[in-house]
Chain A
Amino acid sequence: MCCGTDAVWLDPDPFSTPVGSGGQDDLWASNECSGASTKVTSLSYNWGSSNTAVATMGPGVGWINGVSAGTSNITTYVTRRADDGTGTAHCVNTNFFGGGSANIISVSITKRTSGTTSSDNAGASTYQSITGTSSLGVRTSSQTTFKACFGGIELVGSVAPSAVTSALQLRRTILSCATYVQGTVPISCSTGDDTSDPAIRDDDPQSGTSGGKIYDLDTPGVKNGNSFQSVYRYRVNFSEYATLPAGTVISTAPLNYYVRLSCRFDASGNASLDTSVAGDNQIGSGATSTTWNLQ
């Protein structure tokens, strides 16, 4: 019996990295007798990329550089020698070839604030359950548990190459924000990570009939206010970006946008938009003033 390598494979496979960046892919081997798996990258030879316009190799062994969006086949091999005296008794010289794919990914992000949620967005049913509508934009809700003024926003990440199957995430940061009660009284509003929970995202570029789209939905606003006839104001600046699950940024550029709205609740708790400040109750690109009167 040959107690040596009996199979090799690449990990990760598919390998993913953004355009203009790079990362380490490794070759692993299993031992026929022990069943143990060992990283054998340092023993491997001739790493190659089938499409160097998409991905190139080096300078380190197994290092893959993302050149442009697309997919390239990656190959390498390791040699099991019969004469190396390290438990390979009864083996014959054999080359074991490992192959896999490298996805060099870019994501461009757009936002939708009118119409309804996309039919291939797997998070859309959660959005509808919460808000009672599939419509986007600044609006009110009369759902019993969500009497609210809110800005319904769908962020769309268009993935290149569109055939990518691994999960990708749209994440969000609050750059600045302000919240006011009784019209003008500020209360604390924390900035930083504001990534939606997975139930209202669609991280699968192939879910539904997406063919290379990922989604995020958000509903910033005010719900179930308990200070009747008092105005609640919310001004917030967001930045949306796309990442691999491990956090590597893959979006070509972040999308900065803002939401500003003011909401009034009547004695029955029903919400209506307050229009006393000019230019209020909007979702837009770029940034907004976060003062209560937008001055």
Chain B
Amino acid sequence: MTNLGTIFRTCALFGLFLSLACLPKAFGECAALDDNSPATQLLAFLRASADLPREQWNVDCLTFAIRHLEYRKPATDTIRVLIGFLDFKRPLSQAERLGFVIHGAATVSNLFPAAGTLFTYGKLALPELVAAIENSASPTVTQNATYTVMEIFRDEPATGIEYLKHQAAVLDRSKATKLREAASIAVQWCGAKHQAECEAALKN
């Protein structure tokens, strides 16, 4: 009995060790994230998460890491990593699912945090956002990239429409179509104050 018990305990411990050793790398990195985490650590977590199947994503940690990259010196690879999360939607709390507006106004970038963080990088993010509109097969990525472009031009949204049209004009036909479509849907984010200017920019 004693030997069997020892063997059982050894196997149980070995199993526990194996299961811990096999945990995804991002799991351990998430636990180390806090308000003082440097951008490199936040990015490393995002990269490790991107390599995992979505069902293994720690959605709370992803939201934390993405939001904490706001205004952090945006190297091109930072922007590319965030573009990869443009279709990541943060989970709603129980109260939000019941209708309570409890974690900020219901904007696109509230629900899709990468859009908000890319917005804080300003015009530096535009080339990668345009590339996402051109190349992504995901309608959510296309829509959120377009939204982010318009947020970057939020002080002069008609210029955002003109920017998308200009980018379309320098591309081959198939990609230009996607950018022209983006310019059309972008008008919804012009706001009442600039609606007429945006529609005029779209027609010109």
Q: Which residues of A contact B (CB under 8 A)?
A: 122, 125-131, 146, 148, 150, 167, 169, 174, 177, 179, 181, 187-190, 194-200, 203, 207-208, 217-226, 232, 234, 236, 245-247
Contact B36 A127 (CB under 8 A): no
Q: In the assembly, what is the distance between CA of A122 and CA of B152, in Å?
A: 11
B204 interface contact, C-beta 8 A? no
Q: In the complex, which of the residues A200, A223, A246 contacts B99, with contact meaning CB atoms closer than 8 Å?
A: A223
Bound-state Cα–Cα, A207 to B122, Å: 13
User: Which residues of B in the span 148-170 have a Cβ within 8 Å of any Cβ on A?
Assistant: 151, 154-155
**Cβ–Cβ contact A125 & B99, under 8 A:** no
Could you say which of B67, B120, B191 contacts A125, with CB atoms under 8 Å apart? Answer: B191
Q: A127-B105, A198-B119 are in contact. List 11 more A-B contacts (CB 8 A).
A: A122-B155, A179-B95, A194-B103, A197-B110, A197-B116, A200-B105, A207-B155, A217-B105, A232-B100, A246-B71, A247-B36
Would you call A221 and B71 a contact (CB within 8 A)? no
Within 8 Å by CB of A198, from B94, B106, B109, B194, lies B109
Chain B residue at minimum C-beta to C-beta distance from A127: B105
Q: Name the 4 nearest CB pairs between A and B, nearest first.
A: A125-B191, A245-B71, A197-B116, A197-B110
For the complex, what is the distance from the CA of A177 to the CA of B35, rounded to whole Å?
A: 23
- Expressed in whole angstroms, the Cα–Cα distance for A219 and B100 within the complex equals 10
* In contact, B99 and A224 (Cβ under 8 angstroms): yes
Interface residues on B, range: 35 or more
Q: Which of B40-80 contact A (CB under 8 A)?
A: 67, 70-72
Chain B residue with minimal CB distance to A168? B71
Given the known inter-chain contacts A130-B105, A217-B105, please indicate yes or no for A179 contacting B100, CB distance below 8 A.
yes
Q: Are B100 and A234 in contact (CB under 8 A)?
A: yes
Q: B113's closest neighbor in chain A, by CB?
A: A197
Partner of A222, one of B70, B100, B151: B100
Q: Closest CB-CB distance, B150 to chain A, in whole Å?
A: 10
- Any A CB within 8 A of the CB of B93: yes
Known: A197-B113, A199-B116. A218 touches B105 (CB 8 A): yes
Between-chain CB contacts (< 8 Å), 26 pairs: A125-B192, A125-B193, A126-B105, A128-B191, A130-B105, A179-B102, A190-B102, A195-B67, A198-B120, A199-B115, A199-B119, A199-B151, A200-B107, A203-B120, A207-B155, A217-B105, A219-B105, A219-B106, A220-B102, A223-B99, A226-B98, A226-B99, A234-B100, A236-B102, A245-B120, A246-B71
Q: How far is the CA of A189 from the CA of B98 in the complex (A)?
A: 11
B104 beta carbon closer than 8 Å to chain A: yes
Partner of B104, one of A200, A222, A236: A200
Residues of A within 8 A of B71 (CB): 167, 169, 203, 245-246
Given the complex, which residues of B lie within 8 Å of A188, measured CB to CB? 93-95
Given A128-B191, A198-B117, A247-B36, decide whether A223 and B106 contact each other with a Cβ distance below 8 A. yes
Q: Bound state CA distance, A35 and B157, in angstroms?
A: 40
* Beta-carbon contact of B104 and A218 below 8 Å: yes
Q: Is B202 an interface residue (CB 8 A)?
A: no
A245 touches B101 (CB 8 A): no
Tell me if B102 and A189 are in contact (CB < 8 A): yes
Identify which of A130, A146, A198, A247 gathers the most chain B CB atoms within 10 Å of its CB.
A198
Question: Residue B194 contacts which of A125, A196, A203 (CB distance < 8 angstroms)?
Answer: A125
Given contacts A167-B71, A187-B95, A199-B116, contact A122 B154 (CB under 8 A): yes
Query: Are A130 and B107 in contact (CB-based, < 8 A)?
Result: yes
How many angstroms from the CA of A68 to the CA of B113 in the assembled complex? 36
In the bound assembly, the distance between CA atoms of A226 and B115 in angstroms comes to 29
Is residue B108 within 8 Å, beta carbon to beta carbon, of the partner chain?
A: yes
- Complex Cα distance, B194 from A188, in Å, reads 40
Chain A CB count within 10 A is highest, among B101, B189, B191, for B101
Bound together, the chains give a CA A254 to CA B154 distance in angstroms of 29
A239 to chain B, nearest CB (A): 15
A247-B35 CB under 8 A given contacts A128-B192, A181-B98, A221-B101 = yes
**CB <8 Å contact, A196 and B104:** yes
Q: Which residues of A contact B155 (CB under 8 A)?
A: 122, 207-208
Contact status A146-B106, CB under 8 Å: yes
CB distance from A30 to the nearest CB of B (A): 18
CB distance from B189 to the nearest CB of A (A): 8
Q: In the complex, A226 Cα to B99 Cα: how many Å?
A: 8
A126 to B105, CA, bound (A): 9
